[in-house]
Amino acid sequence: MSQRAKFRRYKLTSRSTVNNSKKFPVVKFTFTRVFQDEKDCWDEAFLPGQYIEIKSRIKGQVIVRSYTPIQGRLSKSFYIYVKIYPNGLMSTHLVPISSTFPTSPTKSSLINSDSVDGRWEELFMICGGTGISPMLQVQSESVEERDRKTRMYLLYGNREIDDVIDSNALREYERSSRGMLEIIYVFSVPPPNESNELSYLQGSITSDIIQNSFPKYGSARNTKIAVCGPPEMMLNVKQTLTDMGYSEREYILLI
């Protein structure tokens, strides 16, 4: 019998748009805890692969949605990335600053159980759209490490350059990684020449792109592939990895 989730109350304290898409903007929502009593709050040191559930009553029904929390700069805070759909129940409800929302954490899914420190020697990340969230979660934690041990490759697919989420954060993570993080962008629609600030590949995430982007896969003993994105994209990547000969033990599909 599964244990019932415990929800804790957090306050929405800020929001900002983090992409340039006019059709489907992505907003960064920052939450801070309401209660100061430690009994009313879990430890906010979120682990890679961990996600939370946010619950709210909307139009007479209880709505629960899952999001990836990323450690905030302020103590006892975290933020999430949410794509705003015109008729999205939760995304359009997460608007009023100072509103409070019950949240519940889940177990981590990106910890290496065969390693003493839980780290991988190599981590290959394939994502699309808001599927970048757990990958940014990994980067946020890695920034705190003085001696980075995990070599990371990030393959990030979007329809066009305006869909890239928090490009400033991505550039800063890559810059500060001291060569331990390599980001490769994939666009279905090539960027205009005047806005072409990123090196990129054109098309969709195929076996050729994966092989060319991750040429050293398997050179380390403890290696993992993490995949996150829209359902159709994840199914396609899963099939591609299977066709390439990867077993289900070698990759993980994140929500």
Q: Is 90 inside any structural domain?
A: yes
Q: Is 171 inside any structural domain?
A: yes
Residues 91, 197: one domain? Answer: no
Lowest average pLDDT, out of 102-106, 153-157, 184-188, goes to 102-106
Residues 58, 84: one domain? Answer: yes
Domain CATH code at residue 145: 3.40.50.80
End residue of a domain, out of 105, 136, 171: 105
Residues 69, 185: one domain? Answer: no
Residues 69, 128: one domain? Answer: no
Q: Coil, strand, or helix at residue 158?
A: strand
State residue 65's pLDDT score. 86
Residue ranges for the binding site?
Answer: 65, 67, 83, 90-91
Residue carrying the six token digits 């982007």: 213
Q: Is 36 inside any structural domain?
A: yes
* pLDDT single digits (tens) 32-77: 877 655 555 455 567 788 888 888 888 888 888 888 888 765 557 8
Domain CATH code at residue 57: 2.40.30.10
Residue 53 amino acid letter: E
Going from the C-alpha of 89 to that of each of 53, 57, 65, 86, the distances in angstroms are 14, 10, 10, 9
Residues 86, 154: one domain? Answer: no
* pLDDT single digits (tens) 209-230: 888 887 665 555 688 899 999 9
State the residue range of the domain holding 56.
8-105
Q: Is 209 inside any structural domain?
A: yes
User: Which residues have C-beta within 8 Å of that of residue 153, sequence separation ≥ 6?
Assistant: 122, 123, 124, 125, 181, 182, 184, 213, 214
Residues 188, 66: one domain? Answer: no
Residue ranges for the binding site for FAD?
Answer: 65, 67, 83, 90-91
- The total number of structural domains that make up the chain: 2
End residue of a domain, out of 80, 105, 130: 105
The span from the CA of 71 to the CA of 89, in Å, is: 25
122: left (phi over 0), alpha (psi -120 to 50) or beta: beta
> For residues 157 and 36, which has the higher predicted lDDT (pLDDT)?
157
pTM: 0.83
Percent of the chain exceeding pLDDT 90 equals 25
